[in-house]
Amino acid sequence: MSTLERILEERAGLPVDATARVQALISDWQILSDLAFADLLLCVRDPSTTEIVVAAQMRPYTAQTVHQEDLVGTTLAWASQAAILRAFEEGAIVRDGEPDWSSGVPVRQEAIPVPWRGEIIAVVSREANLSTVRAPSQLELTYLQTANELSAMIAEGAFPFDGEDPEREVAPRVGDGMVRVDSTGRVSYASPNAVSAYRRLGVTSNVTRRSLTDFDLDDETLMTALQEGRPVESEVEARGSVVLRRLLPLTRGERVLGAVMLMREVTELRRHERLLLSKDATIREIHHRVKNNLQTVASLLRVQSRRMRTDEGREALQESVRRIGSIALVHETLSEDSRQRVTFDIVAQRLADIVGAGLSDPSRTVTTVIEGRAGELSPQLASPLALVLSELLQNALEHAYGPGTAGGTITVRLDRGPATFTMEVEDDGPGVDEGFDHVRDANLGLQIADTLITSELEGTLTVARATPQGGTIARVSAPLPR
């Protein structure tokens, strides 16, 4: 549970739906902070003490902050509570007439109620440092006008927009470029960064006092969203440049006043994304070809094993086919996963099916059960682990359920801790002798497993009787890479 969720639940007693509404506002209120040149504090009331608690805080990128300290989780100073309490009670925006000097600098406060289902669940305190105020430019006047309209939309419950899910990581901010348009789509102001973004797209003429339909490369999408009063995010590409735009309608009741469009050039970001996609496809293709080549080698060994005249040679080639198949299975999993991580639970189950199908006598029923979860592992860890599991499964099938036995159950337990991975393979056969040493007494399969564990995984392998009555348990423990 995040700090915000904990405060909203424990200090304010808000239900889940109201918490979701507040979280939606918090995810998008950086726009208001930058446009208003103001700090924002999300304030809630503690029903048990009636104190005003700060649940979230946002500082502007466009102005000097008012609060250097972190106020989240603290009780708001009494001097700042009056306007907030009025906003809670009246359900309307409250603006202080005189600046507050209690912090040593003049701060003008505006309290914006956040409604939800007919109740005020929170208040946003918009606090601007007046000591940095200078003669306002057209940019600042446009910013402040837009901030006031957004504040009114918050008080009406119209902002943030329902169902909008912009690409948060690259969503344009106010400083990236801003265009203000009226209800007909005519541009009343374009910031220098916005003009530069249009220049990258080939729009060299002046855009101010012109309609979006006259110069924008995707004007139909923007105009439709403006007329319907809904937000839209679109991306345009021209002359080798890519610009991301986010249009936010400004409304008052049912009437659309205009819109603010934030713009950001994302040319280099998209170029890097395409390079990564290309490299990812190449890597997956390599894994696919390696898997195919390994399967080809395995097929050749199968053909060769059929021509062997001795049982010992035939069995040795069949074991090699199985080991190659274990490695091919990891590469097959990597070829299907774009993240280059191996979900080892899937690999373990498929290995159990393959080894069981290849070595079980139809007259004996041997069931393999997978318990626990290993999660995703790196290829460097998954490949040797797959070989080790294959060897341990084969060893259990051969020695616990030989001719004359009725079969049984092999249990594979997977456990992934914070720093250690543990895998156990337990059978319910007769069990190894007391004092069994897997290094001294082991067959070739256990020797291979022990070598892989110590050299590749830097782990340990132990083999012992599972219970005094019988059964064998092989336990692998290996550190997880950081």
DSSP 307-345: H-SSHHHHHHHHHHHHHHHHHHHHHHHHHH-TT--EEHH
Residue 447 pLDDT class (50, 70, 90 cuts): confident
Q: What is the pLDDT of residue 337?
A: 63
Decide if 19 contacts 27 (C-beta within 8 A). no
Q: Are 149 and 90 in contact (CB under 8 A)?
A: no
Report angle CA 305, 308, 313 to the nearest 5 degrees: 80
Is residue 442 predicted with pLDDT exceeding 70? Answer: no
Element (H, E) at 422: strand 420-427
Q: Is 276 helix (H, G, I), strand (E, B) or coil?
A: helix
- Confidence grade of residue 152 (pLDDT, cut at 50, 70, 90): very high
Beta bridge partners of 108: 128
Is pLDDT above 90 for 183?
A: yes
> Considering Cα of 61, then 62, then 68, then 71, what sign does the dihedral take?
negative
Mean per-residue pLDDT for 51-76? 90
What is the rounded average pLDDT of the residues 172-176? 91
Q: Which tens digits make up the pLDDT trace of 309-337?
A: 787 777 778 777 777 777 777 777 667 66
> What pLDDT does 79 receive?
63
219 has pLDDT over 70: yes
Look at the chain and count its residues: 482
C-alpha to C-alpha distance for 61 and 64, rounded to whole angstroms: 8
pLDDT of residue 142: 92
Query: In the structure, what pLDDT confidence band is assigned to residue 111 with cuts at 50, 70 and 90?
Result: very high
Confidence check: pLDDT of 123 > 90: yes
pTM, 2 dp: 0.63
How far separated are the first and last CA of the chain, in Å rounded? 25
What is the model's pLDDT at position 362?
64
Q: Is the pLDDT of residue 228 over 80?
A: yes
Most trustworthy range by pLDDT among 180-194, 425-439, 444-458: 180-194
pLDDT of res. 42: 95
Residue 72's alpha-carbon distances to 66, 113, 235, 472, in angstroms, are: 14, 18, 36, 56
Question: What pLDDT, on the 0 to 100 scale, is given for residue 394?
Answer: 83
> Bridge partners of 411?
369, 426
How far is Cα 260 from Cα 466, in angstroms, rounded to an integer?
70
pLDDT of residue 127: 92
Q: What's the pLDDT at 116?
A: 93
Contacting residues for 410 by C-beta, under 8 A, at least 6 apart: 352, 366, 367, 368, 369, 393, 396, 397, 400, 425, 426, 427
| Mean per-residue pLDDT, 244-264 | 93
The count of C-alpha atoms lying within 13 angstroms of the C-alpha of 365, restricted to the half-sphere facing its C-beta, is 0
What is the percent of the chain where pLDDT is above 90? 36
Under a CB-based contact definition with an 8 Å cutoff, are residues 47 and 12 in contact? yes
Whether 359 has a pLDDT exceeding 60, the answer reads no
